[in-house]
Structure 1
Amino acid sequence: MAETLLMGVLNLTPDSFSDGGDHEDLDGALAHAQHLIAAGADIIDVGGESTRPGAVPVAPEEEQRRVLPVLEKLLDLDARLSLDTRHPGTARAALQLAGERAEGMIINDVSGLLTDPDMPVVVAEYGCEVVITHNRGDSTTMQQLTDYDDVAVAVVDELTQIRQPYLDAGVDFEKIILDPGIGFAKTHQQNWELIGQLERILLLGHRVLFGVSRKGFLGGLLADEQGPRPAAQRDSATAALSFHAARSGCWAVRVHSVRPNRDALRAAAAVG
């Protein structure tokens, strides 16, 4: 079994749920990217808009102001780059900036059923890889859209709906990566149900990205009399689920803290 890759999160936002405001300046962002790589990240996922439930949407112009200067510098580092964006204009600007490296980039779009119809066109034009995520609604509405008869069946069905415009635009099947969208338009219990049925997503034949790092349902799981466990204290539970994802056959895990998750992935690979 191939060892699961590790995607490290580089948030360039003031309002992300875990590390908002920590890496907004250029020097701080570059230093954190280098820290992620040194700790064992295979891919750096750069984001300029928080997609947590309740976050205020960001205009593409502001998103580009945040991410493009950092991406330009990151192109010199020894790591694959992913751009977390739902805006095709931002994706195009980043891919143009990447030049001959554009085909090696990943566009990580969490828009789900609201995916902009221009995004498949941009991805096909540049020949890059794309992560398509199960989601309903946007950051302000997603948590009101959690009505499922069977969450795993619905996620599989809706991922195939989201995938089709990419295939129609000419994106290669092999360049499409699926994300079940843990934490997006799902209750805490639905997240656990879906995690227990990852094989349903894998049966679609694509690589699968698994992203649960520090999310709210882990805070609920680890809650005590003082309330949910704070986001920065959820890394052990995140690593446990990274082990589960690796054993299930996921292509990569997306995490904030690299080292404990790298250890979990190595342990999963050693089990064989």
Structure 2
Amino acid sequence: MTWRCGKHEISLARPRIMGVLNVTPDSFSDGGTHASPDAAIEWGLKLLDDGADIIDVGGESTRPGFRPVSPDEEAKRVIPVIRALADAGAVVSVDTRHPEVARLAVKLGASIVNDVTGFTNPDMVRVAVESDCGCVVMHAGEVSGRTPRRSVTLDSSAAARAAAHAKDDAEKHDEPTAAEAADAAAAERLDEVMRRSARGVTSPTVTLAGGNRRFTLPDSGPIMRHVMGFLGDQARELMRAGVSRDRICIDPGPGFGKLADEDVVIQRANAKMVSMGYPVMCAVSRKRFVGAVSGVTEAPARDAATAGVCIAAVEAGTRILRVHDVAGVSQALNSYWSVAHPDPRRAFVALGSNVGDRLDYLRRAVSLINAIPLTCVTGVSRAYETDPAYGIAMPVANAVAEIRTELAPLVLIDELLGVEKKLGRTRPAGQEGHGPRTIDCDLLWMEGETHAGRKLALPHPRLGERDFVIVPMEDLMHDPERFLAHAGISVLPREQRVGLVRADLGEISWE
């Protein structure tokens, strides 16, 4: 499955992490920590290096008792952050219920609109139709018009059936009307939704013929019909308006008007929501119900518990994890996925050396890469003498290794940096990318992976201009230019490239 979000196509063959970036003074778990644009931008870049695939930028808190923010104030908070992160190549999501903010954010770099009111506002639907952004349809509100503590009579007697019908008729007067549901987008309604989620948890009582029996959770049927019905209806509303199905993601909205018992019921039904055919988001990070099941009262201390719930959701088919603790969840997810899901993928690594016995350094680097866990070398190009480039003062011996790996990209790049360290690579201040090097290991491309950040950018942003990469790749495939074009990478004509190949240095014997 692929989630299409503006110019980005996010492969969901592997779960993806959406990092939460609250540019607010009053968020329930990290309010005020990143309230200034500079602090928020810096934190967003860190989240990318920690393993985030998407950054979700929000400028209005939706905690219980939150203070509504005007569209102008929200835009003032989020737009500078969105522009900076988008310029850095990140996939950016705007978390907003205001169509004006969503429209401006998409115009200035956001690729996803994450609407807590589920695109119930016709103006928000128009924003989606007039752009090519990804759309997150979230359910916010109660999941039943009845109190969670209810009595259900399971008895075939006529008297019992009559009593049950009478009780149902009485309770119908408490069910929300269509007009009330339509008002869910208003700030007052959203505030009430969040207040309800903060109340205590009760369990339903089921009365059986011959005695009483207490169940630990409410009946899942009515809850899931309500949640899945809303999500399906809103997704279809978007598609009828002209939004393609592959742009839509659904989120059951844990914590938004739901009691802890109800949130657990919904999380246990993740597989049912996945069966609807849309990417499903798990946005449980630090929520109250996570504290209820883990016994952790303080929201910022619920990160380990959040990771546990996220792994359960992934096992059920959820593919987008919206979390605050990107580093912790990334570590848990990478470990779990590597063990539970065989997932070998093709990748290319550029190798270069310009000091000492250059060919020996290339040979030893290939051997060390082959020894990386869950990784093997499947092919190596010949070695080539190339012109200096990017400020390097001497000719370089270059090659490209083709590998298969089951490691996540950020885990793999750490391993490649470890290879450089083992072979004595140093990075003098001011010459980190341009000085003499025993070996340089650049991750160029990885199947199904794109990434932005200071630590790693995929595909490599300068891949198409490097003759010392394109020529060695010709040893590994018939037509690298055509191959790279399918990945959206333009290859420059040879006369416009840098680091031109000048001599063939022969094969690299590494096995």
1:51 positional shift: 1.7
Paired residues of 2:281 and 2:319 also in contact (CA < 8 A): yes
SS at match of 2:190: coil
Paired residues of 1:133 and 1:180 also in contact (CA < 8 A): yes
Structure 1 range deviating more: 18-27 or 68-77: 68-77
1:42 to 46, 50, 53: 53
Paired residues of 1:107 and 1:129 also in contact (CA < 8 A): yes
| Cα distance in 2, alignment partners of residues 205 and 52 from structure 1 | 30
1:145 positional shift: 6.9
Any residues of structure 2 matched to 1:51-130 within 5 Å, and which? 51-98=62-109, 105-112=111-118, 115-130=120-135
What is the root-mean-square deviation in Å for CA atoms of aligned residues? 1.9
Structure 1 outlier segments of 4+, above 4 Å: 143-149
Paired residues of 2:20 and 2:322 also in contact (CA < 8 A): yes
Structure 1 range deviating more: 47-56 or 14-23: 47-56
| Cα distance in 1, alignment partners of residues 43 and 233 from structure 2 | 36
Structure number with the bigger relative contact order (C-alpha 8 A, sep ≥ 6) is 1
Q: Which amino acid in 1 is paired with 2:269?
A: Q
| Cα distance in 2, alignment partners of residues 53 and 201 from structure 1 | 26
Structure 1 pair 248–266 and aligned structure 2 pair: CA distance change class (3 A)? same
1:143 positional shift: 4.7
- Aligned position for 1:162: 234
> By percentage of residues, which structure has more strand?
2
1:144 positional shift: 6.8
- Aligned position for 1:253: 321
1:69-127 deviation digits (Å, cap 9, x = unpaired): 111211222321111011111011111222xxx6xx01001113x72111111111111
1:262 to 315, 327, 330: 330
- Aligned position for 1:214: 286
Q: Which amino acid in 2 is paired with 1:128?
A: C
| Cα distance in 1, alignment partners of residues 335 and 129 from structure 2 | 37
Paired residues of 1:43 and 1:81 also in contact (CA < 8 A): yes
Q: Which amino acid in 2 is paired with 1:48?
A: G
Paired residues of 1:95 and 1:126 also in contact (CA < 8 A): yes
| Cα distance in 2, alignment partners of residues 150 and 51 from structure 1 | 26
Paired residues of 1:155 and 1:180 also in contact (CA < 8 A): yes
Paired residues of 1:92 and 1:122 also in contact (CA < 8 A): yes
Count of equivalent residues: 262
Any residues of structure 2 matched to 1:177-256 within 5 Å, and which? 177-223=249-295, 229-256=297-324
1:164 positional shift: 2.9
1:139 positional shift: 2.7
TM-score between both structures, scaled by the size of structure 2: 0.49
SS at match of 1:150: helix
Structure 1 range deviating more: 28-37 or 53-62: 53-62
Any residues of structure 2 matched to 1:132-171 within 5 Å, and which? 132-136=137-141, 137=184, 138-143=189-194, 150-171=222-243
SS at match of 2:108: helix
| Cα distance in 2, alignment partners of residues 222 and 75 from structure 1 | 36
Structure 1 pair 143–75 and aligned structure 2 pair: CA distance change class (3 A)? closer
1:189 positional shift: 0.4
- Aligned position for 2:41: 30
Paired residues of 2:65 and 2:195 also in contact (CA < 8 A): no
| Cα distance in 2, alignment partners of residues 26 and 59 from structure 1 | 18
> By percentage of residues, which structure has more helix?
1
| Cα distance in 2, alignment partners of residues 144 and 35 from structure 1 | 33
Please list every run of 5 or more consecutive structure 2 residues that lacks an aligned counterpart in the other structure.
1-11, 142-183, 198-217, 342-511
1:136-185 deviation digits (Å, cap 9, x = unpaired): 23331215778996212211111122223211210001101001111112
Paired residues of 2:54 and 2:91 also in contact (CA < 8 A): yes
Paired residues of 1:5 and 1:253 also in contact (CA < 8 A): yes
SS at match of 2:87: coil
1:220 positional shift: 2.4
